[in-house]
């Protein structure tokens, strides 16, 4: 917090000469209270050389470690209080799409990271294929009954890219029609899957993510797992061509098995306004417990980028070129999926 002092509790600084805790110092010359003042090097005193004295060679210095632990806790507490103050006072930035980078970095990523690291244990390959700067379009397969693969893809780019880039996902209309989900999606940087929004983001130099299979991919039965559905009419290729942004194919293995969809209650789906209503081995039979995904082992691999900046401006209007590039991206993702499945030892390990 820029306007608040952080006072260490029980600062355990011990001087070699006496082993007594130093009194906290008041703020002087820009230093915070309790900040250590450099002390000229001195030879060890007799007290320090005695067995059991603090600072004696070979002895565990529990007292010396305590301030570092406490200081870390205090810094996190101060950081958290500063974050809350900015949220209350409105001192934070949101772009014209509704993206709140601070909330995404500090809260949403922190909530998703344990699922990413501990539950799905995601391995990431080829993240260096995403450019360090400028716009890029990541095209990935879509699966899993619920769109957890998009969220895990966002964490992968956020946490593993050397330049710390942020992924802006294009989402279906349904996402922005659901209460609460709509607001969270906007805050996390997601926007409507339309050419105008995608082109604006790419021209700003953002990394944009799209999953062209849409509901056909995420809602396909378990018997068709890892078989890519149609990629539409190549709208994402046209957008990349117009922006001159490279296309990065991305293959995700592990999401297909989190909710094995063995049936679809179409009548109920129509009544609720959903594209499908999944029936899995655990849902709806186990109630809310059946909505817990299976802890599968995931791999996300980013392929080599496909350059688009060498094409003339009118190339975006060429249907044959768009068909060929769309087919190239789709085949690249499908081939990589097969390769990763052959290399996989087990669904869960």
pLDDT, one tens digit per residue, over 28-82 is 333 333 343 444 444 444 444 444 444 444 444 333 334 444 467 888 788 788 8
Contact 246, 305 (CB under 8 A): yes
Q: Are residues 166 and 207 in the same domain?
A: yes
Q: Give the per-residue pLDDT at 299.
A: 98
Q: Are residues 124 and 48 in the same domain?
A: no
Task: Indicate whether 279 belongs to any domain.
Answer: no
Q: Are residues 307 and 168 in the same domain?
A: yes
Q: Give the per-residue pLDDT at 74.
A: 85
Task: Average the pLDDT over 212-217 and give the result.
Answer: 94
Q: Give the per-residue pLDDT at 202.
A: 96
**Separation CA 297–CA 307 (nearest Å):** 31
The boundaries of the domain holding residue 177 are 101-258+293-343
pTM of the predicted protein model? 0.77
Task: Indicate whether 79 belongs to any domain.
Answer: yes
Q: Are strands 247-253 and 191-192 parallel, antiparallel or unpaired?
A: unpaired
Q: Are residues 63 and 128 in the same domain?
A: no
Q: Are residues 166 and 214 in the same domain?
A: yes
CATH label of the domain that carries residue 240: 3.40.1130.10
Q: Is it the case that residue 322 has pLDDT exceeding 50? A: yes
pLDDT, one tens digit per residue, over 123-148 is 999 999 999 999 999 999 999 999 99
**Separation CA 222–CA 317 (nearest Å):** 37
Query: With 0-12 CB in 10 A as exposed, 13-18 as middle and 19+ as buried, what is 116?
Result: buried
Cis previous bond, 284, omega within 30: yes
**Residue 330: half-sphere exposure toward Cβ, Cα within 13 Å:** 19
Task: Indicate whether 278 belongs to any domain.
Answer: no
Q: Are residues 120 and 208 in the same domain?
A: yes
Q: In what order do the strands lie in the sheet with 123-125?
A: 123-125, 299-302, 247-253, 136-140, 207-210, 167-171, 191-192
Task: Indicate whether 14 belongs to any domain.
Answer: yes
Q: Are residues 207 and 230 in the same domain?
A: yes
Q: Is it the case that residue 22 has pLDDT exceeding 80? A: no
Q: Are residues 176 and 239 in the same domain?
A: yes
Question: Considering 50, 73, 91, which residue would you say is the last residue of a domain?
Answer: 91
Contacts of 215 (CB under 8 A, 6+ apart): 172, 275, 276
Determine phi and psi for 142, rounding to 5 degrees: -130, 130
Q: Are residues 220 and 315 in the same domain?
A: yes
Count of the separate structural domains present in the chain:
2
Q: Are residues 142 and 254 in the same domain?
A: yes
Task: Indicate whether 284 belongs to any domain.
Answer: no
Contact 7, 26 (CB under 8 A): no
Task: Indicate whether 96 belongs to any domain.
Answer: no
In 3-state terms, the chain is what percent helix, strand and coil (to 5)?
A: 45, 10, 45
Q: Are residues 117 and 241 in the same domain?
A: yes
Task: Average the pLDDT over 322-343 and give the result.
Answer: 96
Task: Indicate whether 327 belongs to any domain.
Answer: yes
Task: Indicate whether 270 belongs to any domain.
Answer: no
Q: Are residues 302 and 243 in the same domain?
A: yes
């Amino acid at each position: 917090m820029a306007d608040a002092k952080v006072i260490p509790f029980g600062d355990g600084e011990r001087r070699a000469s006496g082993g007594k805790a130093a009194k906290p110092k008041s703020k002087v010359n820009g230093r915070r209270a309790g900040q250590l003042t450099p002390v000229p090097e001195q030879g060890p005193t007799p007290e320090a050389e005695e067995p059991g004295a603090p600072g004696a060679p070979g002895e565990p210095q529990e007292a010396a470690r305590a301030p570092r632990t406490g200081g870390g806790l205090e810094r996190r507490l101060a950081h958290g209080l500063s974050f809350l103050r900015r949220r209350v006072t409105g001192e934070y930035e949101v772009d014209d799409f509704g993206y709140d980078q601070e909330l995404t970095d500090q809260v949403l990523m922190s909530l998703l990271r344990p699922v990413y690291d501990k539950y799905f244990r995601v391995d990431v390959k080829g993240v260096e294929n995403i450019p360090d700067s400028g716009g890029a379009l990541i095209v990935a397969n879509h699966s899993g009954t619920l769109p957890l693969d998009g969220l895990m893809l966002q964490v992968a780019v956020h946490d593993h890219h050397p330049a710390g880039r942020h992924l802006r996902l294009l989402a279906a209309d349904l996402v922005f029609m659901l209460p609460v989900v709509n607001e969270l999606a906007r805050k996390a940087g997601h926007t409507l899957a339309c050419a105008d929004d995608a082109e604006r983001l790419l021209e700003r130099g953002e990394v944009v993510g799209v999953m062209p299979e849409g509901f056909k991919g995420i809602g396909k039965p378990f018997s068709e797992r890892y078989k890519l559905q149609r990629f539409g009419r190549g709208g994402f290729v046209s957008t990349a061509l117009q922006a001159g942004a490279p296309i990065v194919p991305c293959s995700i293995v592990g999401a297909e098995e989190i909710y094995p969809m063995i049936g679809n209650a179409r009548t109920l789906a129509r009544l609720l306004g959903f594209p499908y209503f999944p029936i899995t081995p655990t849902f709806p039979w186990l109630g809310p417990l059946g909505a817990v995904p299976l802890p599968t082992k995931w791999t996300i691999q980013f392929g080599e980028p496909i350059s688009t900046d060498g094409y003339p401006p009118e190339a975006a209007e060429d249907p044959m070129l768009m068909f060929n590039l769309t087919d190239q991206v789709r085949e690249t993702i499908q081939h990589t999926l097969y390769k990763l499945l052959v290399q996989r030892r087990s669904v869960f390990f």
